[in-house]
Amino acid sequence: MSVDGFIAGSNGEMDWMVWNWDDALKNYVAEITEPVDCIILGRKLAQGFIPHWAAAAKESSEDFTIKMSETPKVVFTKTLETSEWSKTILAKGNLADEINTLKNQAGSDIIVYGGGSFVSALINQSLIDEYHLFVNPAALGNGMPIFQSLTSKQNLTLNHAKGFECGIVVLCYKLKKD
């Protein structure tokens, strides 16, 4: 996200993001991804995300690439009837019910990759327990906000903050439960 809270520009552009991550940031992502045994996605992002990682896994034996390809995925959709992807199921019911069912299953961590409106819906319903906000050294002035359409205040507790040589700062917050 940008320092002013946007995850994309007004037209979806992401050219302002830092893509040349240093090794410390890559290791941070690998560490938080290691315990993950379920990836949840909105349909729009899934259509590029899943094929990208499946193709990358055919070209690379990197642990992270294999992890992203092989980890089971749940795609939240109102329009798809069947999944065309390996190790992927569709969730078509009530968002909160579906997420709480996943959280109550045996297993390790669940990680969410957007898109923006999907993540905003999760945030709005207090369904995200921990945030790892990757703040890029750019301010956009306008664009797609990550915390759009909140209907209630979200109280967060800072778990840690860490800066990286590439200019990204990761802010890790936990949702403060009353």
99 contacts 130 by C-beta, under 8 angstroms? no
Domain edges within the chain: 20-175
Which numeric CATH code is attached to 20-175? 3.40.430.10
* Nearest Cα residue to 176 out of 132, 122, 124, 129: 129
pLDDT, position 148: 78
- pTM assigned to the model: 0.90
In this prediction, residue 146 carries a pLDDT of 86
SS3 per residue for the chain: CECCCEEECCCCCCCCCCCCCCHHHHHHHHHHHCCEEEEEEEHHHHHHHHHHHHHHHHHCCCHHHHHHHHCCEEEECCCCCCCCCCCEEEECCCHHHHHHHHHHCCCCEEEEECCHHHHHHHHHCCCCCEEEEEEECCCCCCCEECCCCCCCCCCEEEEEEEECCCCCEEEEEEECCC
Q: What is the reported pLDDT for 115? A: 76
| Phi, psi (deg, nearest 5) at residue 170 | -100, 125
Walking along the chain (178 residues) 10 residues at a time, the average pLDDT comes out as 94 93 95 95 92 92 91 94 92 95 94 87 93 96 87 92 98 90
